[in-house]
């Protein structure tokens, strides 16, 4: 019997050994240098709906440099020529005329003309849920000769060109729409990179589009892997499997910054983590209690210590990602002032304030912040119970005003660089996402007035004033702005884009070999 | 019961009752490795990991016990009834349901329950009970079928006792001992299922120091603070090994009796 | 026994039908939450808008009576069309089958390793009761049975991927990426197999007929092949219920821990996004597998123990 057993054990060990040795050879294959002109990148967000334009995937196609909208963006978020070279308002202000660029060739060889633009925009407008940038405006698109289109809306819209900078309004070749099904971006875009292969949510292969109208892509080929786990992205970069990745884990910042082979970039994002307060019910219907919460929190500690520097402390709704955001640090905690405000509002040792704080775990920093906030509010005399749950289950309760405190992570630009939509939905009396239940007729009037302000400088002034009002009324507490991160290894050409709306991949190139 | 087992249970009960400082944060001392001040190190908020592991006894083991108790009660009641009236359509239906449920992993059922009820402690306990009662129902059913033909049961019925009285006073005591043995054996599995659901984010939620939830939280920091994974993992494994061992000593003690 | 098998097989379709009704109806009782979750899955920071949700409800066909929706789904399912995913908008059938294929490979590799390791270990342990091998196997087995996949997975990552840097920590696709998930999933069934085989082998070796045969000069190898292995395998199959159930449940955790694109991970994601067509198809498939496993278990038990036959 022992003989049989011994041979069994030997056989099993041989099998295992064989497995190990094959994996060892594969490992060396994987670390081979990428071919001279090509690069490999790991991106964090895979397409959610097969690159559909009525989903966040439209923005992804812009980022990849595959598809382009009529209007481009400069680093400050101002409109610049894209597939359209110029635009102007006409007549009563409800119509804009866009002159199309000459000589634009789709990846399949077709030429860009007004019919292609009309087909593309009408397709996305006809979706059951069109993208936010162009939904609910009564938008109509018509050709004006072969080289121009007219876009009109029900009411005058001062930021229409910016709306058409959204990746969700990109134009694909007429062939993509011919089948009637969802258009595929494979070989149908106009961007500097041509999508030649789609590997579902796993990745895609892009090649340089030689007939591109603008500066050519820096690499002849870009292999894209979508990797949702931050640690996997980091390991892929460290092992040399990919030359560029983004959204790195907080805990690896220090070691990546110290790595001489890696160029690590950290830049602000147009996103704010907010402590939202229910202003429609006690205790937070009292502005003194809201101010007490603001005073009791030390946002510098939250950002630098609790989140290990992976976020910047927030002084207002907008941060350093946009020109109208605050760039100064928020004040440090003032616990005596918080106690005084609470006492004024009738809360103290005899009548202790106890509230419930909700948040959701999909973004790992939120539960950590919840515990830290509970700890920071305690010395001021506010006891906090934390409930973590599904966002989907919490949202109806939040919107109905059945909560005390809620930590939310909110992007204040939606598809195009203008926060008017978020100010309207989140802070006006009838806003559809007014979680704080803030209602001020003066504020509503200033947001409504934006409909007539076209000058970007004046708009920025209104945004700055709106954020100041929200801070003064202590509507909620902007806690931190998460920092975006990216890292290159053997690759150059990455330009940080705080708006997260501009092309990223076309400028990436293999680093010259020394 | 052996004195060592008894002592271990008493120690666990005491740990479970004490209020450990599980929420005491120290932002300046986050992710600190084990030291004399913090024998198991600190977590991402500077909380003492040892305090949280000890505080987790109440949740990981206590809630497991609670879920198990409900599952045993439901399973036994249903098994007694279906075993007493085995030809009743309801009993046949229950048996068919039990056959399906014993084959379904509790974690998958937990996913379904989460889809319907949302995630959270109640949903997790419900999911555990929803599958956990089935093995007890099957066992109680078989035991009841085996004893219902015995003379003393027939005698009790002949003397005019109603089914409730016969089941409660005569059948239940007869089937209780083997059922109790399997309760001990299944405790460890229940604790692991609860921890697994919490690990997947479907059960106990942070900041509650349940071991599965702690493990899920600590996983983000595994590269810089491995003790955040090691400590709750060790607590969980030690408890389940110990529970398995207790179940075995119980079985040997009862087999020899 | 054939009759029993047939009767039980005939039971499976009605049970699946009931299951499909349950998984179809229950989430739909949630109402508006489904469309809202789908909108958010498609574009993350969108705000609630009743008009959009109404249009989406029409697009997804959720505005029709639940009974109509169900019958449509059932007719499609019988023809092999399981509908379209709410979030990815691709057909559910191929998506689920691809995911199930990954899970199948994962589970099959793990079970193969479990048998390859568990059977010899169990037999070795039984060969000399209370010997070193026996005690080591018993203690190791007790620990292995107590260590859940969600503990073993992160610990293996810590030791093998982080500490030693030998293998990738996460992912699925290359052989070396498969090592850690498969090992994690294999440990529990291996311990179970070893325990079952040990008990069975000890019993067979202690049986008077085997002792007589051995006394008459039956070689140890023949004893093992003729008497021990068939019995041991039968007992393993008879234990297949908890075995497969545990492996299915463990596979969910392993897939989540190691980012393996299998059925468990798809289901977990679909639950998060309220992607009802994926949830329905995935759960019906899982229940079907569980039912088949239960059937195999029962038949094997009958084969092993004639008293259970009706």
The model's pLDDT over A121-142, given as tens digits with 9 standing for 90+, comes to 999 999 888 888 998 899 999 9
The confidence score (pLDDT) of residue C234 equals: 72
Closest residue, chain A, to C56 (C-alpha): A128
Q: How far is C-alpha A139 from the geometric centre of its chain's CA atoms?
A: 25
Enumerate neighbours of A (3 or more CB pairs within 8 A): B, C
What does the alpha-carbon distance between residue C276 and residue C87 come to, in Å, rounded to a whole number? 10
Closest residue, chain C, to A232 (C-alpha): C170
- By residue count, chain C amounts to 310
- Write out the two tokens for C55: 């249009």
What does the alpha-carbon distance between residue A350 and residue A347 come to, in Å, rounded to a whole number? 7
Chain A closest-CA separation from residue C134 CA (Å): 14
What does the alpha-carbon distance between residue B176 and residue B73 come to, in Å, rounded to a whole number? 11
Q: Is C61 helix (H, G, I), strand (E, B) or coil?
A: coil
What does the alpha-carbon distance between residue C290 and residue C293 come to, in Å, rounded to a whole number? 5
The confidence score (pLDDT) of residue B110 equals: 79
Q: Please say whether the dihedral angle defined by the alpha carbons of residues B208, B210, B212 and B218, taken in this order, is positive or negative.
A: positive
- pLDDT category at A22 given cuts 50, 70, 90 is very low
More confident residue, A126 or B255: A126
Average the pLDDT over A429-445 and give the result.
Answer: 96
Chain B closest-CA separation from residue A252 CA (Å): 8
Q: How do strand A491-492 and strand A353-359 relate by DSSP bridges?
A: unpaired
What does the alpha-carbon distance between residue C232 and residue C210 come to, in Å, rounded to a whole number? 15
The CATH 3.90.76.10 portion of chain A extends over 62-184
The confidence score (pLDDT) of residue A24 equals: 37
Chain B closest-CA separation from residue A18 CA (Å): 30
Q: How do strand A263-268 and strand A71-73 relate by DSSP bridges?
A: unpaired
pLDDT in tens, A72-107: 999 989 999 999 999 999 988 899 999 999 999 999
A371 and B23 within 8 Å at the Cβ level: the answer is yes
Tokens 């595929």, located at residue = A184
Chain B closest-CA separation from residue C245 CA (Å): 5
Residue A164 has pLDDT above 90, yes or no: yes
CB B42 within 8 A of CB B55: no
- Write out the two tokens for A82: 């894209």
Assess B3–A contact: CB distance below 8 Å, yes or no. Answer: no
pLDDT in tens, B48-84: 999 999 999 999 999 999 999 999 999 999 999 999 9
pTM of the model: 0.87
Please state the φ and ψ torsions of residue A183, each to the nearest 5 degrees. -65, 140
A 115-134 → C contacts, CB under 8 A: 128-129, 131-132
Select from B56, B93, B102, B103 the residue whose CB has the most chain C CBs within 10 Å, as the one to mutate to test that interface: B103
The confidence score (pLDDT) of residue A33 equals: 43
- Residue C166, in any domain of the structure: yes
pLDDT in tens, A313-333: 999 999 999 999 998 999 999
Assess B102–C contact: CB distance below 8 Å, yes or no. Answer: yes
With a CB cutoff of 8 Å and minimum separation 6, the contacts of C193 are C114, C115, C117, C118, C119, C122, C236, C243
Residue B252 has pLDDT above 60, yes or no: no
Closest residue, chain B, to C280 (C-alpha): B112
CB A67 within 8 A of CB A192: no
- Residue C66, in any domain of the structure: no
The confidence score (pLDDT) of residue C163 equals: 67
Q: Is B123 helix (H, G, I), strand (E, B) or coil?
A: helix
- Residue C249, in any domain of the structure: yes
Select from A1, A52, A255, A272 the residue whose CB has the most chain C CBs within 10 Å, as the one to mutate to test that interface: A1
Q: What is the ipTM of this complex?
A: 0.84
With a CB cutoff of 8 Å and minimum separation 6, the contacts of A472 are none
CB A321 within 8 A of CB A481: yes
Residue A6 has pLDDT above 50, yes or no: no
The confidence score (pLDDT) of residue A273 equals: 97
How high does pLDDT run on average in chain A? Answer: 90
What does the alpha-carbon distance between residue A249 and residue A482 come to, in Å, rounded to a whole number? 12
Number of domains composing chain C: 1
Assess B103–A contact: CB distance below 8 Å, yes or no. Answer: no
Chain B closest-CA separation from residue A390 CA (Å): 7
How much of chain B, in percent, has pLDDT values that exceed 70?
Answer: 96
- pLDDT category at B210 given cuts 50, 70, 90 is very high
With b for 16 or more beta-carbon neighbours within 10 A and e for fewer, the A438-473 pattern comes to beeeebbebbeebeebbebeebbebbbebbebbbeb
More confident residue, A361 or C294: A361
What does the alpha-carbon distance between residue C43 and residue B212 come to, in Å, rounded to a whole number? 31
| pLDDT-wise least confident of A248-252, A267-271, B253-257 | B253-257
- Residue C152, in any domain of the structure: yes
The confidence score (pLDDT) of residue A20 equals: 41
What does the alpha-carbon distance between residue B229 and residue B206 come to, in Å, rounded to a whole number? 15
CA atoms within 13 A on the CB side of B186: 26
Please state the φ and ψ torsions of residue A445, each to the nearest 5 degrees. -65, -40
Closest residue, chain B, to A234 (C-alpha): B223
Average the pLDDT over A416-426 and give the result.
Answer: 94
Instruction: Write the DSSP assignment of C253-270 as a string of letters.
Output: HHHHHTT--SHHHHHHHH
The confidence score (pLDDT) of residue A5 equals: 43
pLDDT in tens, B112-158: 777 677 778 888 899 899 989 999 999 999 999 888 888 888 888 88
| pLDDT-wise least confident of A124-133, A252-261, A360-369, B96-105 | B96-105
Tokens 């076209």, located at residue = A454
B 18-77 → A contacts, CB under 8 A: 23, 25, 27-28, 30, 44-45, 47
Average the pLDDT over A11-38 and give the result.
Answer: 44
- CATH number for the domain harbouring residue C166: 1.10.3720.10
Where in the sequence is the domain holding C209, given as residue range(s)? Answer: 106-271
The CATH 3.40.190.10 portion of chain A extends over 1-20+36-44+192-262+489-514
pLDDT in tens, A475-493: 999 999 999 999 999 999 9
CB A355 within 8 A of CB A277: no
Q: Which residues in chain C show pLDDT less than 70?
A: 1, 30-32, 162-165, 168-171, 238-242, 304-310
CB A483 within 8 A of CB A61: no
pLDDT in tens, C12-25: 888 888 888 888 88
Nearest residue to C199 (alpha-carbon basis) of C296, C115, C134, C133: C134
Q: What is the CA radius of gyration of chain C?
A: 24
Q: Give the CATH class of A62-184.
A: alpha beta
The confidence score (pLDDT) of residue B8 equals: 80
Burial class (CB in 10 A: 0-12, 13-18, 19+), A288: middle
More confident residue, A232 or C80: C80
The confidence score (pLDDT) of residue C265 equals: 85
CATH number at B23-29+40-256: 1.10.3720.10
Helix (H) or strand (E) segment spanning residue A207: strand A203-208
How much of chain B, in percent, has pLDDT values that exceed 90?
Answer: 35
The confidence score (pLDDT) of residue A252 equals: 84
Nearest residue to A386 (alpha-carbon basis) of A403, A363, A364, A362: A403
Q: Give the CATH class of A271-483.
A: alpha beta
CATH number at A1-20+36-44+192-262+489-514: 3.40.190.10
CB A139 within 8 A of CB A153: yes
pLDDT in tens, A172-183: 999 999 988 889
Ordered by start, the domain boundaries in chain B are 23-29+40-256
Please state the φ and ψ torsions of residue A414, each to the nearest 5 degrees. -115, 100
Residue A64 has pLDDT above 60, yes or no: yes
The confidence score (pLDDT) of residue C170 equals: 65
- Residue C154, in any domain of the structure: yes
pLDDT in tens, B147-192: 888 888 888 888 888 888 888 888 888 888 888 888 888 898 899 9
Residue A379 has what DSSP assignment? G
C294 and B102 within 8 Å at the Cβ level: the answer is yes
Helix (H) or strand (E) segment spanning residue A277: strand A271-277
Nearest residue to C181 (alpha-carbon basis) of C257, C263, C243: C257
Tokens 């009796």, located at residue = B257
- On the question of a cis peptide bond just before residue B212, with omega within 30 degrees of 0, the verdict is no
pLDDT in tens, A47-60: 988 899 988 899 99
The confidence score (pLDDT) of residue C305 equals: 65
Residue A30 has pLDDT above 80, yes or no: no
């Amino acid at each position: 019997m022992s003989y049989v057993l011994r041979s069994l054990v030997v056989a099993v060990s041989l099998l295992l050994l064989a497995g190990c040795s094959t994996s060892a050879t594969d490992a060396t294959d994987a670390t081979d240098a990428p071919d001279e002109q090509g690069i490999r990148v790991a991106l964090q967000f895979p397409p959610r709906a097969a690159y559909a334009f009525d989903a966040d995937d439209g923005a992804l196609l812009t980022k990849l440099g595959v598809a382009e909208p009529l209007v481009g963006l400069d680093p400050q978020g101002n409109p610049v020529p894209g597939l359209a070279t110029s635009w102007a308002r006409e007549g009563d202000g409800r119509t804009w005329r866009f002159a199309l660029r000459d000589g634009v060739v789709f990846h399949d060889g077709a030429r860009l003309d007004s019919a292609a633009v009309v087909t593309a925009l009408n397709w996305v407008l006809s979706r059951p849920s069109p993208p936010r940038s162009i939904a609910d405006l009564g938008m109509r698109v018509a050709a004006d000769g072969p080289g121009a289109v007219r876009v009109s809306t029900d009411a005058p819209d001062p930021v229409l060109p910016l709306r058409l900078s959204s990746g969700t309004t990109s134009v694909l070749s007429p062939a993509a729409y011919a089948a009637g099904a969802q258009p595929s971006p494979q070989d149908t875009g106009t961007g500097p990179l041509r999508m030649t292969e789609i590997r579902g949510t796993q990745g895609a292969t892009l090649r340089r589009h030689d007939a591109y109208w603008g500066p050519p892509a820096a690499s002849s080929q870009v292999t894209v892997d979508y990797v949702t786990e931050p640690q996997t992205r980091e390991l892929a970069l460290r092992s040399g499997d990919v030359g560029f990745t983004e959204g790195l884990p907080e805990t690896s910042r220090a070691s990546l910054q110290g790595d001489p082979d890696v160029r690590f970039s950290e830049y602000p994002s147009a996103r704010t983590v907010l402590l939202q307060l229910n202003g429609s019910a006690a205790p937070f219907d009292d502005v003194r209690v809201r101010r007490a919460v603001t005073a009791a929190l030390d946002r510098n500690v939250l950002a630098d210590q609790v989140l290990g520097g992976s976020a910047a402390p927030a002084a207002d709704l907008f941060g350093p990602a946009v020109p109208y955001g605050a760039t100064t640090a928020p004040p440090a905690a003032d616990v005596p002032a918080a106690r005084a405000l609470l006492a004024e509002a009738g809360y103290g040792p005899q009548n202790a304030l106890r509230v419930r704080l909700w948040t959701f775990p999909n973004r790992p920093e939120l539960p950590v912040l919840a515990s830290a906030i509970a700890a920071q509010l305690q010395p001021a005399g506010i006891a906090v119970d934390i409930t973590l749950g599904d966002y989907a289950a919490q949202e109806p309760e939040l919107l109905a005003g059945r909560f005390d405190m809620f930590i939310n992570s909110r992007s204040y630009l939606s598809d195009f660089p203008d926060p008017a939509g978020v100010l309207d939905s989140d802070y006006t009396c009838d806003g559809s996402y007014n979680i704080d239940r803030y209602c001020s007729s003066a504020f509503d009037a200033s947001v409504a007035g934006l409909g007539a302000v076209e000058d970007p400088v004046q708009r920025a002034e209104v945004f700055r004033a709106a954020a100041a009002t929200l801070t003064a009324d202590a509507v909620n507490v902007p806690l931190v702005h998460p920092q975006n991160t990216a890292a290159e290894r053997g690759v150059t050409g990455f330009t940080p884009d705080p708006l997260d709306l501009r092309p990223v991949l076309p400028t990436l190139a293999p680093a010259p070999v020394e | 019961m052996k004195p060592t087992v008894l002592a271990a249970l008493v120690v666990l009960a005491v740990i479970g009752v004490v209020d450990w400082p599980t929420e005491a944060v120290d932002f300046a001392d986050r992710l600190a490795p084990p030291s004399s001040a913090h024998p198991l190190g600190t977590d991402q908020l500077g909380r003492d990991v040892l305090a949280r592991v000890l505080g987790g006894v109440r949740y990981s083991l206590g809630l497991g016990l609670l879920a198990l108790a409900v599952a045993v009660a439901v399973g036994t009641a249903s098994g007694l009834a279906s075993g007493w009236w085995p030809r009743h359509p309801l009993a046949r239906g229950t048996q068919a349901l039990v056959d399906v449920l014993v084959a379904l992993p509790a974690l998958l059922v937990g996913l379904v329950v989460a889809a319907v009820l949302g995630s959270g402690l109640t949903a997790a306990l419900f999911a555990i009970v929803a599958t956990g009662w089935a093995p007890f129902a099957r066992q109680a059913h078989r035991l009841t079928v085996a004893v219902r033909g015995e003379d003393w049961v027939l005698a009790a019925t002949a003397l005019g006792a109603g089914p409730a009285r016969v089941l409660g006073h005569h059948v239940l005591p007869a089937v209780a001992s083997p059922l109790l043995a399997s309760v001990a054996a299944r405790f460890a599995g229940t604790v692991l299922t609860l921890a697994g659901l919490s690990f997947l984010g479907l059960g106990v939620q942070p900041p509650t120091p349940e071991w599965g939830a702690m493990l899920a939280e600590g996983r983000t920091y595994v590269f810089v603070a491995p003790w955040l994974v090691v400590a709750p993992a060790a607590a969980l494994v030690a408890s389940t090994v110990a529970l398995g061992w207790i179940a075995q000593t119980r079985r040997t003690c009862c087999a020899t009796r | 026994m054939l009759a029993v098998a047939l009767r039980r097989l005939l039971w499976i379709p009605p049970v699946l039908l009931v299951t499909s009704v349950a998984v179809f109806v229950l989430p739909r009782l949630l109402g508006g939450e489904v469309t809202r979750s789908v909108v958010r899955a498609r574009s993350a920071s969108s705000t609630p808008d009743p008009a959009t949700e109404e249009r989406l409800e029409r697009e997804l066909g959720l505005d029709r009576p639940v009974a109509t929706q169900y019958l449509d789904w059932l007719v499609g399912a019988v023809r092999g069309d399981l509908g379209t995913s709410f979030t990815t908008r691709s057909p559910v059938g191929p998506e689920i089958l691809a995911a199930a294929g990954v899970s199948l490979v994962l589970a099959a590799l793990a079970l193969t390793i479990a048998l390859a390791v568990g059977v010899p270990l169990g037999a070795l342990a039984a060969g000399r009761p209370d010997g070193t091998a026996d005690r080591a196997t018993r203690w190791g087995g007790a620990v292995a049975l107590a260590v859940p996949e969600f503990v073993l997975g992160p610990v293996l990552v810590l030791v093998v991927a982080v500490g030693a840097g030998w293998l990738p920590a996460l992912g699925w696709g290359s052989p070396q990426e498969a090592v850690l998930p498969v090992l994690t999933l294999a440990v529990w069934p291996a311990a179970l197999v070893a325990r079952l085989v040990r008990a069975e082998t000890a019993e067979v070796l202690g049986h008077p007929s085997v002792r007589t045969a051995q006394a008459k000069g039956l070689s140890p190898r023949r004893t093992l092949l003729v008497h021990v292995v068939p019995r041991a395998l039968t007992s393993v199959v008879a234990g297949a219920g908890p075995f497969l159930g545990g492996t299915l449940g463990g596979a969910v955790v392993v897939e989540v821990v190691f980012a393996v694109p299998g059925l468990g991970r798809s289901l977990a994601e679909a639950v998060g996004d309220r992607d009802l067509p994926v949830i329905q198809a995935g759960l019906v498939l899982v229940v079907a597998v569980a039912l088949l496993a239960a059937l195999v278990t029962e038949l094997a038990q009958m084969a092993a123990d004639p008293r259970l036959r009706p």
